[in-house]
Amino acid sequence: MLFVVFAENDREEEMSFTEKSYKPIDINKVISGKKTSSLWHLMSGFHLHYLVANLFTGLAALARTFIYLYLGGFVDRILEQGVVGTDLIVSALSFGGLITLQALSSFMSSWMATFTAENSTRRLRDYLFDHIQRLPYSYHSEAKTGDLLERATSDVDTIRRFFADQAIGIGRIVMIFIISFVAISQISLRLALISIIIIPIILVVSMFFFKALSKAYEAYQEQGAKISTDLQENLSGVRVVKAFARQDYEIEKFDKDNKEKFRLGKKFIRMHSLFWPLTDIVCSAQTIASSFIGATMVFDNIMTLGQYLSFVGLLGWLIWPIRNLGRLIIATSQTFVSLGRISTILKADEEDMTSATYQPEGNIQGQVKFDDVCFAYEKDQVVLEDVSFSCEAGEVVALLGSTGSGKTSLVNLLPRFYDVTCGQILLDGVNINEYSRQFLRSQIGIVEQEPFLFSTSIRGNITYGVHREVSEEEIVMAAKEAAIHDVILDFKNGYDTMVGERGVTLSGGQKQRLAIARTLLINPRILIMDDSTSSVDMETEVQIRAALEKLMMNRTTFIIAHRIQSIMNADQILVFDQGKIVQKGMHAELVNQPGIYQDIYEIQARIDSALQEEIERVDLL
């Protein structure tokens, strides 16, 4: 992942949330404290909509309650007085009015609930993405993309569903319950009390399932994340998979993980399937018992038939929230799990991009000094040890050494992708920890060892990371300097040619040259080129080198290369072995010193002369 490389963050920084038409939230309140208050806080700015949604739910419940009460009264009147024409018309109109009111209220309630859900989760998604952008390099090197994807999509969606359905359900349940209970108690308080005996039973059963289902859902989501990771890695590495004919292995691996997800899903659904019939049995028993008691009250003349009809209707309406209480508790358990999974990302410390104890006027000069620097990614695994060297502004420093000797790690310390473990790095005489990361990264341009291109046009890729308007001439100039202009013109759509995902439609060398053009456009004071010419042929390398020599003139350049030809003109060559500088000097000195440099030089010279001989032999034929 490469979000951090081109000091993109400051552009993000400028984009304040107020522009986004929603109220900013304090994310600390979301990640700390109780989950219910976190969810409530996530709804900030939409609490009113939520309350209005609840109000409409209440209105719908009220309308429905009146339908039942009216029905009871209507039946009693007919039984007492027979059918009266005007009463029939008035009743029909009243029923019609109440049904319309109920329908309109339900519509408004759903609308407001959806509005709350979509807006709250849109903001959460924005915050999450913003936060992921600001996480340090080290977080991204360890985090699994598939897992992050799962949390940013599936888990956010669980919360959205909660806001859209269940959060509004709480209000609905409470209101319907109160209204129905009051209405039934108007008919008979005893019946009302009998009808709610099951609440404690439902609560106990739900709480038991709450815990079990939370665990099952967490395992299910984790497995989902594993599958996303499988899929993401497989798709990213599809070329490797095909090249090594590992399709069968990959299919088997995916199948295994998919089966496990199926198993966990089955377990989860089984619990669900157990929960529903259980609560249904309890609720049905309650309905039958209450209806029976009600019926005996009619026979005993304590209640009229009309009242009984109202009661039966309202009873169904009273049992509904009780039954849904269980559903709500279970859905809440899933939402809590998802919220927890999202919070883990939100809790990770963001990279401090802006704080600084030193802010130079204008740009830096580019004088760099490493003072006994050591570095380790993990404790006890030394990657760099006692690295000391210095260079003046505008000098070219070349880094050479076997693979894994720490060259990339060293240059990654300059923009503070990682911080030194001991020692210090001075930039223009000031410790780099005193500069803000944002400033440092605006001064340093990197052509990565494995450049990443976005699936947009070539022009879009070249101008990526340039925080100003760029003219067509500038783009062409940068492309020419990186020796890629002619290649681009050969494409059918020139600079508008779309680059496939991660640049797959370009060759390795073309990608590197595009990355060089992109970095040149930023015009950095310090240029880092990590093996940037490794994927180009000799001829192109000569072209690039010539262009780069001009470019290196006024800026401090760190160049990592494996070919001595690419670095022999450097002002200083540092030879690395196992994280230490073992040789230091200019080409002329090093080549005459016994050591790694001389060895590499001799091997490469031998290869070059053998190649030359071969070319001459072929020419003679």
Q: State the residues that interact with ligand ATP by CB under 6 A.
A: 141, 377, 383, 401, 403-409, 449
Among Mg ion, ligand ATP, none, what binds residue 383 when CB lies within 5 to 8 Å by partner kind?
ligand ATP
H-helix or E-strand spanning residue 166: none
H-helix or E-strand spanning residue 427: strand 422-427
CA distances from 370 to 312, 444, 578 (A): 84, 16, 17
Among ligand ATP, Mg ion, none, what binds residue 445 when CB lies within 5 to 8 Å by partner kind?
none
Which residue number, 408 or 431, has a Cβ lying nearer to Mg ion?
408
Nearest approach, Cβ of residue 393 and ligand ATP (Å): 25
| Phi/psi at 425 (5° precision) | -115, 125
Among ligand ATP, Mg ion, none, what binds residue 509 when CB lies within 5 to 8 Å by partner kind?
none
Q: Where are the alpha helices (DSSP H) in 188-304?
A: 189-195, 199-236, 238-243, 247-299
Which residue number, 442 or 512, has a Cβ lying nearer to Mg ion?
512
Nearest approach, Cβ of residue 466 and ligand ATP (Å): 27
CB atoms within 10 A of CB 51: 13
Nearest approach, Cβ of residue 148 and Mg ion (Å): 25
Among ligand ATP, Mg ion, none, what binds residue 301 when CB lies within 5 to 8 Å by partner kind?
none
Among ligand ATP, Mg ion, none, what binds residue 359 when CB lies within 5 to 8 Å by partner kind?
none
**CA nearest 448: which of 516, 507, 536?**
516
CA distances from 560 to 159, 180, 403, 513, 525 (A): 48, 77, 11, 15, 17
Nearest approach, Cβ of residue 409 and ligand ATP (Å): 3
Nearest approach, Cβ of residue 421 and ligand ATP (Å): 13
Q: Is residue 402 a contact residue for Mg ion (CB under 5 A)? A: no
Which residue number, 1 or 393, has a Cβ lying nearer to ligand ATP?
1
Which residue number, 258 or 449, has a Cβ lying nearer to Mg ion?
449
Q: Is residue 535 a contact residue for Mg ion (CB under 5 A)? A: no
**CA nearest 54: which of 175, 181, 180?**
175
Nearest approach, Cβ of residue 383 and ligand ATP (Å): 4
Among Mg ion, ligand ATP, none, what binds residue 406 when CB lies within 5 to 8 Å by partner kind?
ligand ATP
Contact (Cβ atoms closer than 8 angstroms) between residue 351 and residue 532 = no
Which residue number, 455 or 534, has a Cβ lying nearer to ligand ATP?
534
Nearest approach, Cβ of residue 406 and ligand ATP (Å): 4
Which residue number, 408 or 535, has a Cβ lying nearer to Mg ion?
408
Among Mg ion, ligand ATP, none, what binds residue 206 when CB lies within 5 to 8 Å by partner kind?
none
Which residue number, 339 or 387, has a Cβ lying nearer to ligand ATP?
387
Nearest approach, Cβ of residue 411 and Mg ion (Å): 8
Among ligand ATP, Mg ion, none, what binds residue 405 when CB lies within 5 to 8 Å by partner kind?
ligand ATP
**What are the residues facing 72 on neighbouring strands?**
none
What's the rounded Cα separation, in Å, for the pair 315 and 72?
13
Residue type, position 516, single letter: I
User: Scanning residues 403 to 462, which ones bind Mg ion (CB under 5 A)?
Assistant: 408, 449
Q: Map residues 457-496 to x or -, x wherever contact with Mg ion holds by CB under 5 A.
A: ----------------------------------------
Nearest approach, Cβ of residue 595 and Mg ion (Å): 21
Among ligand ATP, Mg ion, none, what binds residue 409 when CB lies within 5 to 8 Å by partner kind?
ligand ATP
Nearest approach, Cβ of residue 576 and Mg ion (Å): 10
HSE at residue 316, side-chain half, CA atoms within 13 A, is: 8
Nearest approach, Cβ of residue 12 and Mg ion (Å): 28
Among ligand ATP, Mg ion, none, what binds residue 277 when CB lies within 5 to 8 Å by partner kind?
none
Which residue number, 31 or 376, has a Cβ lying nearer to ligand ATP?
376
Tokens of 403: 């693979």
Give Cα 352 distance to the centre of its chain.
19
SS (H, E, C) 549-598: HHHHCCCEEEEECCCHHHHCCCCEEEEEECCEEEEEECHHHHCCCCCHHH
Starting at the earlier edge strand, list the strands of the sheet with 580-585: 444-447, 526-530, 556-560, 396-401, 572-577, 580-585
**CA nearest 63: which of 71, 52, 75, 74?**
71
Which residue number, 54 or 519, has a Cβ lying nearer to ligand ATP?
519
**Residue 263: partners with Cβ closer than 8 Å, 6 or more residues away:** none
Which residue number, 59 or 410, has a Cβ lying nearer to ligand ATP?
410
Q: What is the DSSP string of 318-365?
A: HHHHHHHHHHHHHHHHHHHHHHHHHHHHHHSPPP--S--S---SSS--
User: Scanning residues 542 to 571, which ones bind Mg ion (CB under 5 A)?
Assistant: none
Which residue number, 2 or 298, has a Cβ lying nearer to Mg ion?
2
Nearest approach, Cβ of residue 559 and ligand ATP (Å): 13
Which residue number, 54 or 583, has a Cβ lying nearer to ligand ATP?
583
CA distances from 57 to 102, 113, 117, 332, 618 (A): 9, 10, 16, 20, 88
CA distances from 464 to 11, 249, 491, 526 (A): 12, 38, 20, 18
Please work out, in degrees rounded to the nearest 5, the angle formed at the alpha carbon of residue 530 by the alpha carbons of 524 and 535. 120
By beta carbon distance, the residue nearest Mg ion is: 408
Among Mg ion, ligand ATP, none, what binds residue 403 when CB lies within 5 to 8 Å by partner kind?
ligand ATP
Among Mg ion, ligand ATP, none, what binds residue 141 when CB lies within 5 to 8 Å by partner kind?
ligand ATP
CA quadruple 605, 607, 612, 614: dihedral, nearest 10: 160
Q: Radius of gyration over alpha carbons of the chain, in Å? A: 35
Residues forming the site for Mg ion (CB under 5 A): 408, 449
